[in-house]
């Protein structure tokens, strides 16, 4: 059964986030996103709730910084932040609209 277009767009954002995290050896967070994505792709609301719960507080997903060779990757971090922001906003809309 195909996903609703808004859910599919949300899933696409999660895939992009997972890839970006894996590219930068953030395997813990990539695995968390993969679990959320699996739920979303099954139309399981728990995947959405799990994703939204990854934000807030110390040590949360929004605290992740991408580095390479001890250098902060500004452009990559900006791209990750943009993806996370878009996904969070999309997730909140899906949660609100049920």
Chain segment 24-50, per-residue pLDDT in tens: 999 999 999 999 999 999 998 999 999
pLDDT at 38: 97
If you average pLDDT over every residue of the chain, what do you get? 95
Residues 49-65: tens digit of each pLDDT: 999 999 988 999 999 99
The CA dihedral of 50, 51, 56, 57, to the nearest 10 degrees, is 50
Q: Which helix (H) or strand (E) holds 71?
A: strand 71-72
Place of tokens 């899933």: 11
Please give the pLDDT value at position 1: 67
For the residues 16-23, what does the mean pLDDT come to?
98
User: Do the Cβ atoms of 83 and 17 come closer than 8 Å?
Assistant: yes
Helix axes 74-97, 45-53, angle to 10 degrees: 130
């Amino acid at each position: 059964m195909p996903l609703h277009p808004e859910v599919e767009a949300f899933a696409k954002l999660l895939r992009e986030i997972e890839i970006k995290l894996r590219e930068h050896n953030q395997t813990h967070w990539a695995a968390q996103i993969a679990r959320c994505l699996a739920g979303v792709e099954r139309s399981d609301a728990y995947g959405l709730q799990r994703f939204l719960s990854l934000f807030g507080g110390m040590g949360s997903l929004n605290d992740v910084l991408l580095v390479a060779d001890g250098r902060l990757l500004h452009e990559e971090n900006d791209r990750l932040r943009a993806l996370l922001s878009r996904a969070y906003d999309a997730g909140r809309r899906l949660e609100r609209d049920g």
